[in-house]
């Protein structure tokens, strides 16, 4: 139970300068990972309710939403520039929503395929 409460199962570097600190307590994730988590928590119910059909365009949207995180992360890693916590949070949110779109759409395709294969 402690692993779930501290989010220690998530692979995050937890650098204090890149994490939210409230009243002297550090949040167990950095801003980027926090954005991904919040984006997925918001995105999964939204996508499930508002995307009843699956099209190739939805997968393109998911990919487009993930690209800013990759660009921010790699340009920072290659030391081309320094990222900010607000940019990390924003790109994490976009990526989380893109991942949510991918997860829901792939699961819907898989369920439909299983129904066709089983004759249901």
- For 45-64, the pLDDT digits (tens) are 988 888 877 788 988 999 99
- Domains in the chain, number: 1
Residue 54 included in any domain: yes
Are 29 and 88 spatial neighbours (Cβ–Cβ below 8 Å)?
A: no
- What's the domain range around 49? 31-118
Is 71 a domain residue? yes
User: Does any domain span residue 73?
Assistant: yes
The answer as to whether 7 is a domain residue is no
Report d(CA 21, CA 18) in Å as an integer: 9
Which tokens go with 56?
Answer: 């190739």
| pLDDT one-digit tens code per residue, 90-114 | 999 999 999 999 998 898 889 889 9
pTM exceeding 0.75: yes
């Amino acid at each position: 139970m402690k692993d779930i409460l501290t989010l220690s199962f998530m692979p995050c570097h937890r650098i204090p300068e890149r994490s939210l600190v409230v009243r002297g307590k550090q949040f167990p994730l950095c801003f980027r990972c926090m954005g991904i988590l919040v984006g997925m928590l918001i995105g999964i119910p939204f996508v499930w309710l508002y995307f009843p059909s699956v099209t190739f365009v939805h997968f393109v949207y998911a990919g487009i939403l993930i690209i800013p995180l990759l660009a921010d992360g790699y340009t920072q890693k290659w030391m081309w520039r320094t990222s900010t916590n607000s940019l990390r949070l924003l790109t994490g949110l976009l990526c989380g929503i893109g991942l949510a779109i991918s997860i829901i759409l792939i699961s819907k395709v898989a369920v439909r395929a299983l129904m066709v294969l089983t004759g249901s």
